[in-house]
């Protein structure tokens, strides 16, 4: 099994697809003397499927890892409202042309983006700053009695969460 880790930028530069169905949507901050406004997700966006719920996740400390899990039915849309985070995704859909591929994304308030994650793709994230806030929208309502998720430990897939000097 060969696992390649691809950043969104390296995929774009090489003309390669990201993990099939995964999208990184650049968002625009509309700025004026009152401040700014960022539209995160609209029901008529081509990458939107349906609405289930929205929730806010706060990581109080840099380096906090929340990983990995995937869903059978649920689509996720992730937006970092404060701070920044490193996301790592792994395609676990055997019928996908990007099966077992890894992709890494860094998003945050300085590069507002929406990360779209389809069902069957393991995903996790690590806060890169203290007090990082994630707004997560799901296509389904979370069922506490029968959650639509499969969880594996953060060290799965040979992933190194450390930030490497360059």
Query: Can you tell me the distance from the alpha carbon of 59 to that of 159, in angstroms, rounded to the nearest whole number?
Result: 20
> Which of 28, 50, 39 has the alpha carbon at shortest distance from 111?
28
Task: Tell whether the model's pLDDT for residue 16 goes beyond 70.
Answer: no
Q: What is the mean pLDDT of residues 94-120?
A: 96
| Averaged pLDDT of the chain | 91
pLDDT at 44: 95
pLDDT at 2: 34
Query: Can you tell me the distance from the alpha carbon of 72 to that of 61, in angstroms, rounded to the nearest whole number?
Result: 30
| Residue at token pair 């960022």 | 38
Task: Tell whether the model's pLDDT for residue 8 goes beyond 90.
Answer: no
**Three-state secondary structure call for residue 10:** helix
Full-model pTM: 0.89
pLDDT at 6: 45
Residues composing the chain: 166
Q: Which tens digits make up the pLDDT trace of 70-95?
A: 999 999 999 999 999 999 999 999 99
Query: Can you tell me the distance from the alpha carbon of 116 to that of 105, in angstroms, rounded to the nearest whole number?
Result: 11
Task: Catalogue all structural domains in the chain, each as residue range(s) with its CATH number.
Answer: 5-28+52-141 (2.60.120.10)
| Residue at token pair 């349906």 | 50
Query: Can you tell me the distance from the alpha carbon of 28 to that of 125, in angstroms, rounded to the nearest whole number?
Result: 23
């Amino acid at each position: 099994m060969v696992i390649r880790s691809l950043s969104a930028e390296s995929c774009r530069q090489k003309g390669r697809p990201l993990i099939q169905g995964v999208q990184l949507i650049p968002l625009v901050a509309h700025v004026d003397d009152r401040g700014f406004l960022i539209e995160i997700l609209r029901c008529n966006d081509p990458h939107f499927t349906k609405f289930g719920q929205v929730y806010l996740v706060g990581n109080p400390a840099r380096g906090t890892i929340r990983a990995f899990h995937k869903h059978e039915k649920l689509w996720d849309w992730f937006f970092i409202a404060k701070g920044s985070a490193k996301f790592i995704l792994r395609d676990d859909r055997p019928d996908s042309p990007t099966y077992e591929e890894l992709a890494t994304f860094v998003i945050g308030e300085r590069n507002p983006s929406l990360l779209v994650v389809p069902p069957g793709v393991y995903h996790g994230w690590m806060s890169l700053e203290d007090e990082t806030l994630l707004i997560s929208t799901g296509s389904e309502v979370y069922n506490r009695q029968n959650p639509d998720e499969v969880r594996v430990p953060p060290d799965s897939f040979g992933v190194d969460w450390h930030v490497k000097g360059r």
